[in-house]
Amino acid sequence: MNNKEIIELSQKHVLETYKRAPVAFIKGEGAKLWDADGKEYLDFVSGLAVCNLGHCHKKVVEALKAQSETLIHTSNLYYIANSAELASLLCQYSFGERVFFCNSGSEANEAAIKLARKYFSSRGEKRNEIVSMEKSFHGRTMAAMAATGQVKIQEGFEPLLQKFVYVPFNDLEAAKAAVNKNTAAFMIEPVQGEGGVNVPTIEYMQGLRKLCDEKGILLIIDEVQTGMGRTGKLFGYEHYNIKPDIMTLAKGLAGGVAIGAMVTTNNIAQSFGPGSHGSTFGGNPLATSAASAALRAIIDEGVVENAEKIGVYLMTKLNELKSQFPFINEVRGKGLICALGLDFEGAEIVGKCLEKGLIINCTNNTVLRFLPPLIIGEKEVDSMISTLKTVLKEVKG
């Protein structure tokens, strides 16, 4: 099928829960995609920070092929070798000691919220309130949506799950004021992705960790978008010299295969016993084999270091654009999650870039977001900047 045929079939039968661009991609390699009409694109979205190793990384493909010929699925009623191996790797490279596997970021955050509440209830404490940040995004399931600090995500789904409080991001005094005897946890992204690529200060994150320690509150760090090297560290929390009590992962964890994970300590994990939580497909042999291969590639192939290096280069080039166009009001980011803040809505920019074979994203209406594969080099950044500059001139003269 060509683009037109795929679009028509989708519009006829697929629920329209996304505002889709008029293109259907059918092939990917590295930082490139091809649509059903054969047109080539440079990808600076990476499936929304999923394809951190680029499209169809050789080691992930090999792992999937080998595992699909051996065992695709069993059940968590039994032990799963690949799941155990991946959990061990995640604990080796993070603060964690225990891992729960699921299928998405929303599910991982649901698990984190449940664990935080169960931790206190198992100790006989009636703490059940979660404090999250304005402009945060934690998912679209009922608890994850309730934790999300964006009204537009929640509208029409009321009544929301109770006991969620929202405070301004990067405001330690507001966080302190929100604490009461029922506070169980703070939930925060180390860089807000969907909220506009907002980066907190080191002092704020360290202050939040200290506040949690002083008040006996858990710190949940949502690394769904920032984890697996995206920020120039394997995990975003490492930039702030702190450790969370609970961390959630998904997106880039398995190189494009659906998986989610919640990582925590032995002490906190004890609150979850058999029957406390579960996931039929969570930790299945196929997804965890891909994730182990992806994690090893990220560690062994210098991917994190490249994200840090090229992230600096990309930020430099974005700042050069800012100096040339007065309607760009801010450049922000960390590693290879970067953004241009505009003084107008950016949807037209995204559409015109797509026409020219460049894939970028607009979030929070006026923020152009760049989430390229972590394997990109300066040449690809230069190509992206050249196309974007041309489009900005076309749109705003």
* CB-based contacts of 167, cutoff 8 Å, min separation 6: 131, 132, 133, 134, 174, 175, 177, 178
DSSP-derived letter for residue 240 is G
Distance of CA 109 to the CA centre of its chain: 11
Give the three-state DSSP class for 95. Answer: coil
254, 286 Cβ separation under 8 angstroms: no
Kind of pairing between the strands at 260-264 and 246-249: antiparallel
Picking from 234, 239, 231, the residue whose alpha carbon sits closest to that of residue 209 is 239
| Residue 388 CA neighbour count, 13 Å, CB half | 30
196, 136 Cβ separation under 8 angstroms: no
Check if 137 is active-site.
yes
Kind of pairing between the strands at 129-133 and 183-188: parallel
Task: Give, for 342, the enclosing helix (H) or strand (E).
Answer: strand 337-342
| Residue 150 CA neighbour count, 13 Å, CB half | 19
CA distances from 1 to 26, 284, 305 (A): 10, 32, 40
Catalytic residue among 118, 233, 251, 334: 251
Catalytic residue among 25, 35, 95, 222: 222
Reply yes or no: is the peptide bond before residue 22 cis, omega within 30 of 0: no
* Torsion angle of C-alpha atoms 316, 384, 347, 199, degrees rounded to 10: -30
Kind of pairing between the strands at 25-29 and 32-35: antiparallel
Give the three-state DSSP class for 382. Answer: helix
Check if 251 is active-site.
yes
Catalytic residue among 137, 164, 169, 235: 137
Q: How far apart are CA 271 and CA 195, in angstroms?
A: 32
Q: How far apart are CA 50 and CA 44, in angstroms?
A: 11
As beta bridge partners, residue 130 has: 164, 185
| Residue 207 CA neighbour count, 13 Å, CB half | 13
As beta bridge partners, residue 42 has: 32, 358
Report, as residue numbers or ranges, the catalytic residues: 137, 222, 251
